[in-house]
Structure 1
Amino acid sequence: MSLEKSVVVITGGSRRVGLHCARTLRHLGCEVHITYRSDRPDIDVLRTEGVICHQVDFEEDDSLNRWLDFLRKDAPPMRALVHNASLWLPDSDPATDYQTTIRRMNRIHCEAPYLMNMAAAERLRLGGSPLSDIVHITDYVIEKGSDNHIAYAASKAALDGMTRSFAKRFAPLIKVNSIAPSLLMFQEDDDLEYRRKTLAKSALGVEPGPQVIADALIYLLNNRYMTGRVIALDGGRNIR
């Protein structure tokens, strides 16, 4: 199934995994729209490559509402909406502002995707060929949990739950699936000991990089008979 000229919207598309997916789909001939929160050099690079960039702060009501209006009224017919925007806040320190932490996690990983799915549904129905897609990027912790990132894990689990609910709501014209990765890319300042311990958590023991997400995303867009499912990209952490 060709994706050429398909309109794909990726939230959080200005860095790391989102940036890589935006470039990959653009190189396949898609009309790619991304959201980004803050200006960064990669935004200008993406624009020169033909990616349409929208500055949106999902934590600000006015900004989010303008984006929802765009999805309802002004967005072109869409082939796919990919929820990649994420925020990773720890809550293990007793000094943590727990109310703020859980509120921010829920806003980014649950409330905003919920509202965007509702707002974009009609544009997605118009953009299918014949089917369209919503893809939630969750996390492997939806199954295992995390004692240091409880709010993060809970909000990603909510996004995972919405995968099946929206799959029921939007069938048969819109497929809804999720991808649940573990750590794919280290940060530049991660030390060797942290890297060693992290790699040892998976059976495959490698840092796979962002292409595995792009591959899974393309697979979902091309598969006409998969909805309400999760693709786990954790290197076999479940069998360690």
Structure 2
Amino acid sequence: MTCSSPILITGAAQRLGKAAALWFADQGYPVIISYRSDHHDLSEFHQKGIITLQADFSTPEGISDFIHHLKQQTSSLRAVIHNASDWLPDSSDMEQMSEGFTRLFNIHMLAPYLINQQCQPLLLASDGPRDIVHMTDAVVSKGSRKHGAYVATKAGLESLTQSFAAMFAPQIRVNAIAPALIMFNEDDDDAYKAKALKKSALQTEPGADVITRTLDYILNNPYLTGVVIPVEGGRSVV
């Protein structure tokens, strides 16, 4: 499949975002990614012609700066996939609590909100299907004892899915994916892995491919908007 308008994937220097970016590039899509830290090896992206833009979504200024540079790179977009995320535990210190919540709010809610609004003309400039996908979290439906701010801001992003679906219809479809455990981190020990796997009915680490397949399904389904697709291995039935 080929498309002249790029797919934008935020926070795509590693893990799920990286897998999606490389897969879409292999399918013939132009791809633009944002990445947060300059320690990432970006050579694999550049070899596939993927445009990489450094961005700090933790501040309004950083979000605005990213949007400015994005508009210098392209005049249209096929899709926007909001994958940028941060994982901060709650703190007992009031100052840290405030700073952490603000950071998570900016990354999970303010950045998608502003990017969607500012990129609407770029999406409308594409002459084919147009999609926005929010990456939320399956834990939104259950809450968390230790990551309340994280869950709250992901829940806010999930709510924005319905709002933008209503605002941008019928020209732009807006959906969300709510994953649970998809990939372990390299430093996760065996005890943690065993405990985590038991939280789902399927008790498996599926890998990034299940998210890439879900993204492909969303972008190629002409009758889907305003929905949240759980990709969580049956956590809701355990």
Name the residue aligned to 1:162. 160
Name the residue aligned to 2:53. 54
CA-CA distance at 1:153 after TM superposition: 0.1
Q: What do residues 106-142 of structure 1 show as CA deviations (whole Å, max 9, x unaligned)?
A: 000000110000000011011141x200000000011
Name the residue aligned to 1:32. 31
Q: Give the 3-state SS of the residue equivalent to 1:208 in structure 2.
A: coil
Name the residue aligned to 2:142. 144
Looking at structure 2, the residues matched to 78 and 148 of structure 1 have their Cα atoms a distance apart, in angstroms, of: 37
The one-letter code matched in structure 1 to 2:114 is L
CA-CA distance at 1:86 after TM superposition: 0.2
- Contact conserved, 2:60 with 2:106, CA < 8 A, in 1? no
Looking at structure 2, the residues matched to 81 and 60 of structure 1 have their Cα atoms a distance apart, in angstroms, of: 20
- Contact conserved, 1:18 with 1:84, CA < 8 A, in 2? yes
Trace 1:108-119 onto structure 2 (pairs within 5 A): 108-119=107-118
Looking at structure 1, the residues matched to 2 and 104 of structure 2 have their Cα atoms a distance apart, in angstroms, of: 32
Looking at structure 2, the residues matched to 192 and 69 of structure 1 have their Cα atoms a distance apart, in angstroms, of: 44
Q: Which sits farther off after the overlay, 94-103 or 200-209?
A: 94-103
Given the superposition, is the C-alpha separation of residues 173 and 71 from structure 1 closer, same or farther in structure 2, using an over 3 Å criterion?
A: farther
- Contact conserved, 1:79 with 1:133, CA < 8 A, in 2? yes
- Contact conserved, 1:88 with 1:152, CA < 8 A, in 2? yes
Looking at structure 2, the residues matched to 213 and 196 of structure 1 have their Cα atoms a distance apart, in angstroms, of: 22
Looking at structure 1, the residues matched to 100 and 40 of structure 2 have their Cα atoms a distance apart, in angstroms, of: 28
- Contact conserved, 1:71 with 1:120, CA < 8 A, in 2? no
Trace 1:119-134 onto structure 2 (pairs within 5 A): 119-129=118-128, 131-134=129-132
Trace 1:164-179 onto structure 2 (pairs within 5 A): 164-179=162-177
Name the residue aligned to 1:235. 233
Name the residue aligned to 1:208. 206
Name the residue aligned to 1:198. 196
CA-CA distance at 1:7 after TM superposition: 1.1
Q: Give the 3-state SS of the residue equivalent to 2:229 in structure 1.
A: strand
Given the superposition, is the C-alpha separation of residues 95 and 198 from structure 1 closer, same or farther in structure 2, using an over 3 Å criterion?
A: same
Q: What do residues 61-120 of structure 1 show as CA deviations (whole Å, max 9, x unaligned)?
A: 4432122234556523111000000000001x4247110111011000000110000000
CA-CA distance at 1:49 after TM superposition: 1.7
CA-CA distance at 1:202 after TM superposition: 0.3
Name the residue aligned to 2:84. 85
1:12 and 2:11 matched: yes
TM-score normalised by L of structure 2 = 0.95
Name the residue aligned to 2:218. 220
Looking at structure 2, the residues matched to 212 and 6 of structure 1 have their Cα atoms a distance apart, in angstroms, of: 24
Looking at structure 2, the residues matched to 128 and 99 of structure 1 have their Cα atoms a distance apart, in angstroms, of: 43
Q: What do residues 2-38 of structure 1 show as CA deviations (whole Å, max 9, x unaligned)?
A: 4544410000010100010000000000100000011
Looking at structure 1, the residues matched to 49 and 69 of structure 2 have their Cα atoms a distance apart, in angstroms, of: 19
What is the aligned length? 237
CA-CA distance at 1:41 after TM superposition: 4.3
The one-letter code matched in structure 2 to 1:63 is G
Q: What do residues 157-200 of structure 1 show as CA deviations (whole Å, max 9, x unaligned)?
A: 00000000000000001000000000211111111111001000
The one-letter code matched in structure 2 to 1:126 is A
- Contact conserved, 1:72 with 1:122, CA < 8 A, in 2? no
CA-CA distance at 1:144 after TM superposition: 0.8
- Contact conserved, 1:203 with 1:236, CA < 8 A, in 2? yes
1:68 and 2:67 matched: yes
Q: Give the 3-state SS of the residue equivalent to 1:223 in structure 2.
A: coil
